[in-house]
Chains A and B, each alone.
Chain A
Amino acid sequence: MAELQFREAIRDAMVEEMDRDETIFLMGEEVAEYDGAYKVSEGMLDRFGPKRVIDTPISENGFAGLGIGAALNGLRPIIEFMTFNFSFVAIDQIINNAAKIRYMSGGQFKIPIVFRGPNGAAGQLAATHNTSTESIYATLPGLKVIAPSNPDDAKGLLKTAIRDDDPVLFLESEVMYGMKGEVSEEKDYTLPIGKARIAREGDAVTIIGHSKSYWLALKTADMLKEEGYDAEVIDPRTIRPLDINTIVESVKKTNRCVIIDESNPFASISSEITYQIQERAFDHLDAPILRITAKDTPAPYAKNLIDYYMPSAEDAHKACRKVMYLD
């Protein structure tokens, strides 16, 4: 194992895949000469040259669509959004073209493309720069959505995403890019799309969290541990397709579930997981499923307000105690 930053793990995944397959190219704003807005693609222009590491104008609709066309015509593009907040000016490309062209062509064409970049809240950036996009994109058949929480998963899953023949949205996080973690040094390390990770085993309550929320789930489990309870922590890793089987098996064991999801609450990933659990394991539930999400408002700027807006381990801890009937 090697200790890498999240950004380095993503870079390694791209570099290894681009070494392996010449049809892969990286395109986005500031990915080449600037070395990446968040230094994810640092050094890649030098390594691969301007044919394969390509700066774009600020023109998301244009270059997202370009990537889709290139994928239709035999290439495997990696399109970087500086953040997924900016993907909204390209949303027609993602929703109507990436997700649907294969279907409407009766399966004649495939679109092996990865859209990647940071997603979700990243501090005092106010409302437009703090959107969690996963529930918006995960609602669309034709897309796959991945949201890893650590460098090892990021590397293994990104390599798989690049090799996947379907369009994948790979959601990272500005605030996680500097996070260090052990990454497998196994040659050609890949992880399967659609498999959750049981990060910690336990029987008291199932706590689910993806991306940054995973770390809140872990902190919540630590708080419970101090009180003598072993929570099971699950990181779904892939949002679509969701590994509901792993979640349901866990809930059947713990009979309780709390979901942490930093999206806005309405029609969020937590809503979907809750529905699927009650559909599959209603008789196993000893308490209603609770969720801790961002507030049902746009993200504010003021320090105290954004802190209040975001889900916290303290709130998740209270929710766990509630479903365990401790309070």
Chain B
Amino acid sequence: MASKTSKTKKTTKTQVNGTDDEPDLIRTEFEYRSFQSEHVDHRELELKDDQLLDMYRNMMLQRRFEERAAQMYGKQKIAGFLHLYIGQEAVSTGAANALNVGHDSVITAYRDHGIALALGMTSNECMAELFGKIDGCSRGKGGSMHFFSADKRLFGGHGIVGGHIPVGIGIAFAHKYKEDGGVCLCFFGDGAINQGSFHEAANLASLYRLPVVFVVENNQYAMGTAVHRASAETDLFKQASGYSMPGALADGMDVFDCYRAFTEHIALARENQPSLLEVRTYRYRGHSMSDPGKYRTKEELEERKDNDPIIRLKAYLLDKELTTNEALDDIDDDVKKEVLESVEFAENSEFPPLESIYEDVYVQEDYPYLGQSKN
């Protein structure tokens, strides 16, 4: 229950280095607060009742989708790497609800199913991509790690740790250049923050004042390496101060706190103020499907599951009498059905035709591929 598991840790340290015109430009104060259900009021966060139910449904969808994907992996319907997001759903959901989806942009790493579904990509196109089928969101050319949607402005799904972060600031650069008011959310994991690409991108973004939010989804482990074994500074958000931008911390197991933090940081980005948001979360499953998980104890995992973001939202909804158990059961059934249908859709979709291997490499349609011509 949310009220039992919530904790509040607050540390405040303010270092203002701005001029009178730009007060609080550099903020190092942060607050790590986990809303207790009796202390939060979603209306103060400007969340509507209906929206909460949509959020609940989407978080359930992300979870059930991936549970089914894991099962399909076991049945060898899905191959390659499959990195599950289970446990982290509050982050994607909080983010997507704070964004202007279809106008703002998102780029992320390889653990990308959750954000794709949160942005409104369909279960069908996502499951079909995992199956490597032509109706997949990347036409069967990307797989689990490379979900894309021009429609939802999801610019991937990227498999090289940290390699997409400079691309994220470029997307933000174009928003600013075109003056279209859009921002870019650039997600990456706690492992990626030690890559040079993050530091180059952070410096450039702050130097050029780009409308980007760097979101480090700290799920505690880079594959099997715990944060304290990888980062000399384990408060990852503090990296922001090296680049003269705000850094802050949010509770990634609490969808309200995620929504609040994303809303604040997106607002900063809209004023061309980049920032670094660390979201502390936890993945329940292994790094990928072949992870024996020897780097953590069963007790740690169980303790974390007690803080489950979906259970907490459910408790809130019932506590505030915004819904009933029966209505939530109906949502669960509906989600289960949607996921099963997506498996059927993926099964029935065709594999990409062999000649499609030469499609989507270049925009140029008559590119002379070696070995393509029969003569």
Known interface pairs A69-B155, A73-B105; A64-B177 also in contact (CB < 8 Å): no
In-complex Cβ contact of A62 among B164, B174, B203 (8 A): B203
**Shortest CB–CB separation between residue A172 and chain B, in angstroms?**
23
A70-B174 in contact (CB<8A): yes
Shortest beta-carbon contacts, A-B, top 8? A69-B170, A65-B166, A62-B200, A106-B139, A107-B360, A73-B174, A105-B148, A165-B363
Closest to B197 in A: A61
Closest to B202 in A: A62
> Which residues of chain A come closer than 8 Å to B370, judged between CB atoms?
276
Closest to A165 in B: B363
B207-A104 in contact (CB<8A): no
Interface string of B191-210 (1 = CB under 8 A from A): 00000110011011001100
What are 8 contact pairs spanning A and B, CB under 8 A? A57-B204, A73-B170, A73-B174, A92-B163, A102-B360, A105-B141, A108-B148, A166-B363
A69-B172 in contact (CB<8A): yes
A266 close to B (CB within 8 Å): no
In-complex Cβ contact of A65 among B148, B170, B184, B359 (8 A): B170
**Shortest CB–CB separation between residue B145 and chain A, in angstroms?**
9
> Which residues of chain A come closer than 8 Å to B156, judged between CB atoms?
101, 104-105
Known interface pairs A62-B200, A65-B201, A108-B148; A25-B170 also in contact (CB < 8 Å): no
In-complex Cβ contact of A70 among B136, B170, B363, B364 (8 A): B170
**CA distance in complex: A241, B148 (Å):** 27
B137 close to A (CB within 8 Å): yes
B138 close to A (CB within 8 Å): yes
> Which residues of chain A come closer than 8 Å to B364, judged between CB atoms?
164-166
B204-A73 in contact (CB<8A): no
B197-A65 in contact (CB<8A): yes
A126 close to B (CB within 8 Å): no
**Shortest CB–CB separation between residue A106 and chain B, in angstroms?**
3
Closest to B136 in A: A106
8 A Cβ contacts from B153-171 to A: 155-158, 160, 163-171
A124 close to B (CB within 8 Å): no
**CA distance in complex: A164, B363 (Å):** 9
A72-B171 in contact (CB<8A): yes
In-complex Cβ contact of B166 among A62, A71, A77, A102 (8 A): A62
Interface string of B172-184 (1 = CB under 8 A from A): 1111011000001
Closest to B137 in A: A106
Closest to A56 in B: B204
A97 close to B (CB within 8 Å): yes
> Which residues of chain B come closer than 8 Å to A77, judged between CB atoms?
170
**CA distance in complex: A112, B157 (Å):** 20
Closest to B170 in A: A69
Known interface pairs A67-B170, A69-B173, A96-B163; A59-B200 also in contact (CB < 8 Å): yes
A96-B160 in contact (CB<8A): yes
> Which residues of chain A come closer than 8 Å to B197, judged between CB atoms?
61-62, 65, 92
B interface list, Cβ under 8 A from A: 105, 107, 136-142, 146, 148-150, 155-158, 160, 163-175, 177-178, 184, 196-197, 200-201, 203-204, 207-208, 359-364, 367-370
**CA distance in complex: A71, B368 (Å):** 24
**CA distance in complex: A71, B165 (Å):** 15
A-B contact count (CB 8 A): 159
For A, the interface residue count at a CB cutoff of 8 angstroms equals: 47
B361-A142 in contact (CB<8A): yes
A interface list, Cβ under 8 A from B: 23, 25, 51, 54, 56-57, 59, 61-75, 77, 92-93, 96-97, 101-110, 112, 141-142, 144, 164-166, 194, 241, 276
B167-A97 in contact (CB<8A): yes
B177-A51 in contact (CB<8A): yes
> Which residues of chain B come closer than 8 Å to A165, judged between CB atoms?
363-364
> Which residues of chain B come closer than 8 Å to A54, judged between CB atoms?
208
> Which residues of chain A come closer than 8 Å to B136, judged between CB atoms?
106
> Which residues of chain A come closer than 8 Å to B166, judged between CB atoms?
61-66, 68-69, 93
A62-B175 in contact (CB<8A): no
B362-A104 in contact (CB<8A): no
In-complex Cβ contact of A107 among B105, B139, B201 (8 A): B139
**CA distance in complex: A280, B200 (Å):** 47
Known interface pairs A68-B170, A104-B148, A110-B363; A57-B160 also in contact (CB < 8 Å): no
**CA distance in complex: A306, B183 (Å):** 50
In-complex Cβ contact of B204 among A66, A110, A164, A276 (8 A): A66
> Which residues of chain A come closer than 8 Å to B107, judged between CB atoms?
69
**CA distance in complex: A93, B314 (Å):** 42
B167-A65 in contact (CB<8A): yes
A63-B204 in contact (CB<8A): yes
**Shortest CB–CB separation between residue B244 and chain A, in angstroms?**
14
Known interface pairs A69-B170, A69-B172; A106-B163 also in contact (CB < 8 Å): no
**Shortest CB–CB separation between residue B346 and chain A, in angstroms?**
15
